[in-house]
Chain A
Amino acid sequence: MSFWTDPIKVVYDGLMLLLTGWGLSGAAANVISSLLGILLLITGAMVLDIMLVWVERKVVARFQGRLGPNRVGPYGLFQPFPDIIKLIIKEDITPDGADKVVYNMAPIISLGSVIFLWAVVPLASTIYGVDLNVALLYLVAAGALGTLSIIMAGWSSNNKYALLGAFRQVAAMISFEIPMVVALLIPTILAGSLSLKVITEAQAGGRWFFWLSPLGAVLFLISAIAELGRSPFDLNEGESEIVSGYHIEYTGMKFGLFYAGELLHAFTFGGFLSVLFFGGWHGPWASQYPLLGVFYFVAKAMFGYWLIMWVKYTVPRIRIDHMLAFNWKFLTPVAFALLVVTAVVHSLLKNAGFWPYCFGLFFSNVLLGWITLEILRASTRRQRLAVEAPQPAAQH
């Protein structure tokens, strides 16, 4: 066993040897090594977060036909650092009448709810925080904490716009949590487990769940964007209506924590998309060399993040009644129909061999998507005809 085949184990054994050599007991050395591991994971996520600011600004610039940051460092790569210095030295303002403890706790919980998620993400075959057997429920639980932080921020700011933004976020969260949970059940059925490690391992050899359930991947992506509160579902910010909503009163690094949390959250959901539907760390030679697996995972997570950005900078914000109708009349029924279809096809073709199973699931997804589109087309045609129908002359 060398560093290249199982890096975490090698580093852990080395640390334990070093710490027990210093005269610590085995249990204390174990606690210290685990804490160091947690610190390393969080630091890695936060350093990546700093660079995500640059990625986000550069990508939005490309979508909008601009150059983006290009002055500080090559390709503007060092732009986030002056931004951070600016955020840190800005005046820290607490609004009059704010509930100070809640006000100051909200940004911490906001970023914390995202960092929680990294505990269950399998970065490679042997590199993961913890293999939780209820990891997907844990994802939903962390989302509830994130929403709580938004309400805390909105209420404690003592600002009507902030409170309105928080209200809208709860309306979105309650409704979009349902298709999200149902979409999470699709990989669960296919892999037979809620554990992200098992779900990743079930996708070995290019048998990505995206091929088995493309509709499920799309549903998960849509509800993830709603959960993130990103455009077109960014009603909780709505800068043209409620001047950026729940974090309107936050200044300096407190705003910075919300911003960092939002970017890291989007990237994390890109990571979940890759784990659930695009094979996670799987790739050529990834099972022998876990560090290569980390590279594949980050690359696929970046692809998911790019998809989310693509939607964000292409689609305008939708009205709140449209958003709710979109969820309750389209997303939720389709998600439940897909769940039933996947469960039935999975149990019918489970023992029918590899290719019938894959084709059966793929084409049942395509068929369901096509039927959905036909129903939508028919209903919009009816609405259009109703509007176009000759109206009786105005009554006098």
Chain B
Amino acid sequence: MDASQVIFILSAALIIASAVMVVSTRNLIQAALWLIATLFGVAILYAVLDAGFLAVVQVVVYIGAIAIMFIFAVMLTSKDMRDKGPQVNASWPGAALLGLLTFGGIFVILSKWDGLGKLPGEIPGGADALLAKLGVALTSPELFVLPFEVASILLLAALIGSVYVAMNKK
């Protein structure tokens, strides 16, 4: 077992354990903090896979965003921020079955795949070249510049819409 496998097992354990805590803790703020731990574990996986850019963006976007979610959670919930009701509703057996079936399906598919148990190979041209390709693809007119810009306009529209909704009408 080499170092990257040890790191993978540790961060996978972190992801699963904190993901379980996100849905099982009764305190809203602690759930948000566990969510940060989950996403941080995913960032570690990206770093292990030589995707440094994705790892850093994961931290910037998600931890920065959760800081803001934190504030909404504090401002929009009642004083105690503790959920006192039951944690599951009547349809939990169905959800559990669906979850088990999905897990089983992925397990079967992966166990047939011959790449399982192999170490990741070298990226052709190195990770940096791949990243440069991604950047060029996002900004070149032949590839994805139009969807990229449309997505930006969508976000801008959402921003203007929220300003309009929040504005005091005279």
> Which A residues lie at the B interface, using CB under 8 A?
27, 31, 99, 102, 132-134, 137-138, 140-141, 144-145, 147-148, 151-152, 155, 163, 167, 170, 173-174, 177
Contact = CB atoms under 8 A, between A and B. Distances in A.
Contacts of B70: 151, 155, 170
Contacts of A163: 74
A137 B64 contact: no
Among A31, A140, A141, the one with the most B-chain Cβ atoms within 10 Å of its Cβ is: A141
Interface string B66-97: 11101100100000000000000000000000
Interface string B39-57: 0000000000000110011
Contacts of B71: 151, 167, 170
A99 B26 CA distance: 13
Contacts of B63: 141, 144-145, 148
Given A133-B53, A137-B57, 16 more contacts: A99-B27, A99-B30, A102-B30, A133-B128, A133-B131, A134-B53, A134-B56, A137-B60, A138-B56, A144-B64, A148-B63, A151-B67, A155-B70, A155-B74, A163-B74, A174-B64
B53 A155 contact: no
B41 to A, nearest CB: 15
B67 A132 contact: no
B59 interface: yes
Contact of A155 (B29, B36, B68): B29
20 contacts: A31-B3, A99-B27, A99-B30, A102-B29, A133-B53, A134-B56, A137-B53, A137-B57, A141-B56, A141-B63, A145-B63, A147-B67, A148-B66, A151-B67, A152-B33, A155-B29, A167-B71, A170-B68, A173-B64, A174-B64
Given A99-B30, A137-B60, A155-B74, A148 B52 contact: no
A248 B143 CA distance: 53
B59 A132 contact: no
Contact of B52 (A27, A134, A155, A170): A134
Contacts of B33: 102, 152
A359 to B, nearest CB: 29
A356 B66 CA distance: 46
Interface of B: 3, 27, 29-30, 33, 36, 52-53, 56-57, 59-60, 63-64, 66-68, 70-71, 74, 128, 131
Q: Which 7 A-B pairs have the closest CB atoms?
A: A141-B59, A144-B64, A137-B56, A144-B63, A141-B60, A141-B56, A134-B53
Contacts of B29: 99, 102, 155
Contacts of A134: 52-53, 56
B68 A144 contact: no
A148 B36 contact: yes
Contacts, number: 57
Contacts of A148: 36, 63, 66-67
B59 A145 contact: yes
Contacts of B3: 27, 31
Given A144-B64, A170-B68, A133 B30 contact: no
A377 B53 CA distance: 42
Given A141-B60, A145-B59, A132 B52 contact: yes
A173 B67 contact: yes
B79 to A, nearest CB: 12
A167 B75 CA distance: 10
A155 B28 CA distance: 12
A151 to B, nearest CB: 5
A317 B5 CA distance: 51
B60 A170 contact: no
Contacts of B67: 144, 147-148, 151, 170, 173
Contacts of B27: 99
Nearest to A132: B52
B69 to A, nearest CB: 10
Given A133-B131, A155-B29, A144 B59 contact: yes
A174 B30 contact: no
Nearest to B54: A134
Nearest to A163: B74
B70 to A, nearest CB: 5
Contacts of A155: 29, 70, 74
Nearest to B60: A141
Nearest to A169: B67
A147 B56 contact: no
Nearest to A147: B67
B60 A140 contact: yes
Contacts of A170: 67-68, 70-71
Contacts of B131: 133
A31 B74 CA distance: 43
Contacts of A99: 27, 29-30
A237 to B, nearest CB: 18
A18 to B, nearest CB: 22
Contacts of B60: 137, 140-141, 144
A339 to B, nearest CB: 15
Contacts of A151: 67, 70-71
Nearest to B132: A133
B14 to A, nearest CB: 15
